[in-house]
Amino acid sequence: MLSPELGHYALALACIFAAAQGILPLIGAHRRDRRVMMLAPGLALGQLFALAISFLCLVYAAVTDDFSVQNVAANSAVTKPLLYKITGVWGNHEGSVLLWALILGICGAAVAAFGRNLPSALRARVIAVLGAVAAGFELFCLTTSDPFARVWPAPMDGQGMNPLLQDPGLAFHPPILYTGYVGFAVPFAFAIAALMEGRVDAAWGRWVRPWAVAAWCFLTCGIALGSWWSYYVLGWGGYWFWDPVENASLIPWLTGTALIHSAIVVEKREGLKIWTVLLAIATFSFSLSGTFLVRSGILNSVHAFANDPARGIFILGLLGVVIGGSLALFAYRAPALTAGGLFAPVSREGALVLNNILLCSICAVVVTGTMYPPFMSLLFDRTISVGKPFFDATTIPLALPLFVFMGFGPMLPWKRAQLWPVLQRLWLAAIVTAIAFLVAAFGVSGVLPVLSCGVAVWIIAASITDITERVRLFRMPLAGSLQRARMLPRSVFGTALAHAGVGVTVLGLAAMSQAQHKIVEVPVGTTEHLAGYDWTLTNVTQEPGPNYSALVATIEIHHNGRLVTVMHPSKRSFNSQNQTTTEVSIHTNLLADLYGVLGDKHGTDAAPTYVLRLHYNPLAPWMWLGALIMAIGGALSLSDRRMRVGAPRRAKLSSETVTAA
């Protein structure tokens, strides 16, 4: 019943729904015709329903091994485990575009379902913009990347999946990352709707922020998951390679982070309105261009997607319409938007402006570094590479002041503040930071790692101080403090938690600069010493797996004569694709990772030697733990009463009375 043809038909139907969703509500909003505007939620739900059917059909084809579907034949095989048959659906270009469209459909339906309190014209326009974008991508999917194309005669078995992708971490990485990318379509749609209406006010800021924060949480988790995956799958012990694909996710994250901060200023003080609208457009534009340019093959990346310039032309045209159209609308309408609340340079607003300047500078640097090689090659026929040294040298000096200001920014009052009283309240955090500096100066080598350790501790200590100051901990009876803590809005805890998460990540990054590693070529029975641990290669065996055969090493690790762990790094040879992968073995105690990789086999069969790569990675898990804490902080502030759906209407009423007065 769930045939590929039904899926194809449902996708076409979704595209038509989306096109109607992109046009009719706009007409309705323009004519102030309530009945036409009320079509928007229904169309959005219809589109989602059709997309869900379409997606289910593709999953069904993959699970039932229908190799007459070209996409399944090219990416699946009978022997592939069931989990990867399902997740493999989005592990390739066509399927991931369908997933992308599905998530966009979910966003549209979510605005339809949760946006009941929005003014009807604004809601109609937001849903229409989402529909128009969705229509474009569904058309792209139908015309150039049809996931349901059939092959005949059907092969007996599929070609199998890229073994590198056969991994639980990567299985759930794309949906989370895409939810982050696509989630920023909602703030984008709000920005376009606001430009159409020519009005941005505090209520608009209040409506946009939860969507932006939610998308940001997913994007944060997605990036962390991707980095974690490259850490334990690629087997180089590295976690971030400044690869164009990684940068493509970091760039919208940076502007998205700026957006969730500048939207606060719109909401509280009606300032930075034009800037926030631009950030909302920019964030989604970067999400779109990042993910899709990677597929066009322009950016030279180790992450191989099937590249197809013809597909690239379609994407570029689509990007031109979406991004060019929105920026043209911005250029036409934004000059008429009135500037809002004034503030002194030293104030909460001032701190948030500084946050935006620094984040956008980092973003500009990353964009430049990513785009420089292809443009140099185009304009001057010169091939150059921009790598880690460039990015380290340019981003770290911008990030360090950002981290310093992050400490006291949340404690500054709005409108006009004085720095000194705030700094006085941070005396304890300053002392803790000074101690951290001293400890780091002795234990850590290199100026930047020491500075990074210091600022990381500063962020965490200052975030904790922010909470303890607000609840007047130890300055009044404990019961009183608890009472105050209960009264504090959850978003305050969310901010502190998210900022502390940044501190945890920075600590992890700084500690990772002290990582030690060793590459040796040894026979079985040898003991190596690294970072105070004794690593003994006790055995190497050949073991069969479901669709591969593996060479498995056994390494016993002792510390001061006590057995810490036994690890089994291995090398897998996949039968179907003639490809090998290295399976890293990691033992963590949350303070450090012991990381072992089995390399090539050398020597004769009688006396074989094995290349082993041993890494000692201090605080490595903290990098991803910090990202998780950031996302939890974001989720916590999402659960704030003031961010909930009922609140906007009241805020809107009060803002209207203010404008009237």
Partner 1 sequence: MSTSPDNENLTRRRLMMGLPLAGAAVLGVGFWKMLAGMQRGSFNPHDINAPVLNRPVPEFTVPDQAPGQGFSAQDLRGLTKPVLVNFFASWCIPCLAEMPTLMSLKDDLTLWGIAYKDRPENAANFLKHSGNPFTRLGSDHDGRIGMEWGISGVPETFLVGPGGIIRWHTATPLDVDTIRNTLIPLLEKLKAS
Closer residue to partner 1 in complex, CB, 279/455: 279
Shortest Å, Cβ 606 to partner 1:
18
- Report, in Å, the least distance between residue 310 CB and partner 1: 7
Nearest distance from C-beta of residue 597 to partner 1, angstroms: 8
Q: How far apart are CA 525 and CA 530, in angstroms?
A: 16
CB of 333 to partner 1, least distance (A): 8
618 forms beta bridges with: 592
Question: Nearest Cα to 360, choosing from 368, 348, 372, 371?
Answer: 368
CB 188 within 8 A of CB 101: no
Contact 630, 505 (CB under 8 A): yes
CA distance 608 to 523: 6
Please identify, using beta-carbon distances, which residue of 319 and 645 lies nearer to partner 1.
319
- Inter-residue contact 14 to 54 (CB < 8 Å): yes
- Residue 593: CB minimum distance to partner 1, A: 15
Residue 549 near residue 534 (C-beta atoms within 8 A): no
Burial of 68 (0-12, 13-18, 19+ CB in 10 A): middle
The Cα 52–Cα 367 span in angstroms is: 35
Bridge partners of 581, per DSSP, are 572
| Residues β-bridged to residue 535 | 528, 557
Q: Cβ of residue 556: shortest distance to partner 1, in angstroms?
A: 22
* Separation between Cα atoms, residue 187 and residue 279, nearest integer Å: 9
In the complex with partner 1, which residue's Cβ is closer, 329 or 354? 329
Closer residue to partner 1 in complex, CB, 242/408? 242
Question: Are the beta carbons of 231 and 237 closer than 8 angstroms?
Answer: yes
CA atoms within 13 A on the CB side of 257: 26
Alpha helices in 270-381 (DSSP H): 273-296, 309-319, 325-333, 348-380
To the nearest whole angstrom, how small is the minimum distance from the Cβ of residue 559 to partner 1? 22
388/650 with CB nearer partner 1: 388
Please report where in the chains the tokens 């219809």 appear, as a residue: 46
Tell me the closest approach of the beta carbon of residue 595 to partner 1, in angstroms.
Answer: 11
Contact residues: partner 1, CB under 8 A:
236-238, 274, 278, 281-282, 285, 293, 296-300, 307, 309-310, 312-313, 316, 319-320, 323-324, 327-328, 330-331, 334-335, 371, 373-375, 377-378, 382-385, 387-389, 517, 519-521, 599-600, 602, 611, 613
Closest approach of partner 1 to the CB of residue 369, in Å: 13
Backbone torsions φ then ψ of 537, nearest 5 degrees = -85, 105
Spatial contact of 96 and 174, defined as CB atoms under 8 Å apart: yes
Nearest CA-CA partner of 29 in 214, 199, 284: 199
Taking the least distance from each CB to partner 1, the nearer of 169 and 599 is 599
Q: How many angstroms separate the CA atoms of 232 and 227, rounded?
A: 9
Smallest gap from Cβ 300 to partner 1, in A, equals: 4
Q: How far is the CB of 583 from partner 1 (least distance, A)?
A: 16
Least distance to partner 1, CB of residue 83, Å: 30
Q: 377 vs 659, which CB is nearer to partner 1? A: 377
Q: Give 385 or 560: the residue with its C-beta nearer to partner 1.
A: 385
> Which one, 3 or 609, has the nearer CB to partner 1?
609
Please, which residue, 365 or 498, has the CB nearer to partner 1? 365
Nearest to 260 by CA among 314, 298, 219: 219
Q: Please say which residue, 187 or 494, places its beta carbon nearer to partner 1.
A: 187
- Nearest-angstrom CA–CA distance, 418 and 429: 18
Query: Helices 120-144 and 185-197: crossing angle, nearest 10°?
Result: 130
Which residue in 277, 18, 282 sits closest to 129, CA to CA? 18
One-letter amino acid identity for 376? Answer: M
- Residue 282 Cβ vs partner 1, minimum distance, rounded to whole Å: 7
CB of 180 to partner 1, least distance (A): 22
Q: Which is nearer to partner 1, 373 or 501 (CB)?
A: 373
Kindly state the helix (H) or strand (E) to which residue 26 belongs, with its residue range: helix 4-31
CB of 308 to partner 1, least distance (A): 10
CB of 309 or CB of 480, closer to partner 1: 309
Q: What is the layout of strands, in order, in the sheet containing 608-618?
A: 516-522, 608-618, 592-603, 585-588
Residues 623, 488: contact at Cβ < 8 Å?
Answer: no
C-alpha to C-alpha distance for 214 and 103, rounded to whole angstroms:
13
Taking the least distance from each CB to partner 1, the nearer of 32 and 388 is 388
Cβ closest to partner 1, residue 90 vs residue 242: 242
Residue 380 burial (CB count, 10 A): 9
Contacts of 499 (CB under 8 A, 6+ apart): 406, 410, 459, 462, 463, 633
